Amino acid sequence: MITVIQSPTDSDFVQNPYPFYAAARASSPLQFWTEYNMPAAFSYDTVQALLKDRRFGREIPAEMATTGPAHLAPFLMTEAHSLLDAEPPRHTRLRRLVLRAFTSRAITALSDDIEALCHQLIDTFPDTPFDLLDTYCTQLPVIIICRLLGVPEDMAPKLLKWSHDIVAMYQASRTLETEHRAAAASAEFIDFLRGYIDQRRNDPRDDLITRLITAEEEGESLSTDELIATCILLLNAGHEATVHSIGNGVKCLLEHGLNPEWLKPEGIDRTVEEILRYDPPLHMFTRYAYEEIELFGHTFQRGDQVALLLGAANRDPHGFSGAETFDPTREIKTNTAFGGGLHFCVGAPLARLEMKFALPILFERCPNLALAEPPQYSNTYHFHGLTRLMVTT
């Protein structure tokens, strides 16, 4: 297998990983990425095949599982009960319960709230240059996920801090300090949710937490620990990806010369999908092999990990014509921004809905929106989002 060397924290790579993806993909669709000590899939077909191959999965093989370091115990507790890292039959049960509560009807019912909130946030924009990421891209999804879960909106700043500290565990720049912050955030988040779930048991409401509790108490056996882990996952995944999808989207639209047709009702779906394809918020997802498998010229042993490079797959010219060109008029074709197969992101419909409102309303209300400085990406790979987005209106 070809070996490739590229630090995921290198500043040039952080700002633009796509040339590295293109060069690697041109050599072989599957290569051994030295810094991650595992094979990495760079092509559209390879990533799609691995996403759907049930011989690979997210849950670590039982014989390889460890208790982990003591200082990470609270964080590892949420991981242990998370839908994200489960496989059938546990995954089947958890996902069924989440989807029962996280219905398309419940998501669609948020449309008016999303629209109104977009306008409310824009009403607060200052006249001087400001950070759109902080004032708009972040606020919209975190407030909406609070409303969906049934968590008080005044908790949003604290929830954001907990989420950022926890999600930092998946970044290449992770340090021991990162681990301690993630453990502390996990412990505080768990304590809050345990108390809040108890409140909801005694005072049920029309929200996601109540619906998950109801499912648990109707014999679907969703434990309190699973309920807590699910709420943490929904908050973290429900806003982190959307923040950067909107932020990266605004950057793309401004840098490529916004065409008003792109944001009209008949064009917005294609525009949203093109943003997600062209500059997705998540660039890597990993899988474990569950048996000895011969694929793409490589033999995987049970327990081997493989990195699925979602950002690389989305720029593969064999997957998308003119893949390096940002073209919101292209016909929609399945991209890998939200993963695929069994673990396709349950929050994808909500993220898309928020983008469909956030982008047209922003540019309608702020027709002179412009970049105040060149945007910079954060050193947070395998996530791919901006540090800030300074604009003028």
Q: Which domain holds residue 230?
A: 3-392
Q: What are phi and psi of 83, to 5 degrees?
A: -60, -35
pLDDT band (50, 70, 90) for residue 216: low
98, 101, 105, 110: CA torsion to nearest 10: -100
pLDDT digits (tens, 9 = 90+) for 349-371: 999 999 999 999 999 999 999 99
Phi, psi of 205 (to 5 degrees): -130, 180
Q: What is the number of domains present in the chain?
A: 1
pLDDT classification of 217: cutoffs 50, 70, 90? low
What is the arithmetic mean of pLDDT over 109-115? 94
**Cα(347)–Cα(344) distance, integer angstroms:** 9
- CATH number, domain at 295? 1.10.630.10
Question: Does 93 or 165 have the greater pLDDT score?
Answer: 165
Overall pTM > 0.85: yes
Q: Which of 170, 173, 193 is nearest to 182 (CA)?
A: 170
Order of all β-strands in the sheet with 38-41: 3-4, 30-33, 38-41, 305-309, 284-289, 56-57
As a whole number, mean pLDDT of residues 139-153 equals: 91
The full DSSP string for 260-295 is: GGGGSTTTHHHHHHHHHHHS-SB-EEEEEE-S-EEE
- Reported residue count of the chain is 393
